Homo-oligomer: A and B are copies of this chain.
Amino acid sequence: MLEPITPAVEADAEKPKTRRDAAGTKARILAVATREFASHGFEGATTDDVAAKARVNKRMIYHYFGSKEQLYLEVLEQAYANARGAEARLKLDEADPVAALTRLTEFTFDSFSRDRTFISLLNTENRQKAKVLKKSSRVEDMNSTIMASVDRILQKGAASGAFRKDLDAFQLWISVVGVSYFYFSNIHTLSVIGGRKLDDPALLAQRRRHVVDFVLSAVRP
């Protein structure tokens, strides 16, 4: 029990034990922190766990981010930046209004379906009344782009007679997101209450069809 451990295997091909990699370390912390904050919320996530899972000394978190709250803010900013980036790649302006609205609705559904991390972070942030997001300088104009797109789609649709004319872009956008968001945000409790697994592929496909159909039906004149 008390014999010294013989360093048999570890002695081979020893590169400098600790290669330094500032960017990599910071990125790894951020990636792990995103998972941890999403899974456990701000209060439930611990810097000790983040450090361990990122295979990094805890001190590094404070070296690169200063505090748990600042780390959380950067996680949130990155999540928003990702979402905005994906939206920007959507090219909603080229298609005809019905196709564009369809594409936006499907895109929203598919994004949430693929990864619920952003939903979890948003829920945590809203529980805290967005007190951290309010401190962000990078998040000001994050909505204007998509909002403007929706507005243009609605105008084209109203002009061509494809859509009714009294639609508000902001209200519609919230509804488009909402019908997908609620399904995925509450997928676990809904599954328990409803007695069926809502992440079953067949049910997901049914929901996707319903969501698109629901939105398109609502906007027709």
Contacts and interface: CB of A to CB of B under 8 A. Distances in A.
Interface in A32-80: 38-44
Interface stretch (A14-22, A86-94, A95-103, A171-179): A171-179
Given A41-B41, A217-B218, A126 B188 contact: yes
B186 A126 contact: yes
Majority SS of interface residues in chain A? helix
B43 A127 contact: no
A158 interface: no
Interface string A103-116: 00000000000000
Interface residues of A, number: 56
Interface in A136-181: 139, 142-143, 164, 168, 170-172, 174-175, 177-181
21 contacts: A39-B127, A40-B127, A41-B43, A43-B43, A44-B44, A126-B188, A129-B188, A130-B192, A133-B189, A143-B193, A168-B206, A175-B211, A177-B182, A178-B178, A178-B180, A178-B183, A179-B179, A181-B182, A181-B185, A217-B217, A217-B219
Nearest 4 pairs of A and B residues by beta carbon = A178-B182, A43-B44, A130-B188, A218-B218
Interface of A: 38-44, 120, 122-127, 129-130, 133-134, 139, 142-143, 164, 168, 170-172, 174-175, 177-183, 185-195, 206-207, 210-211, 214-215, 217-220
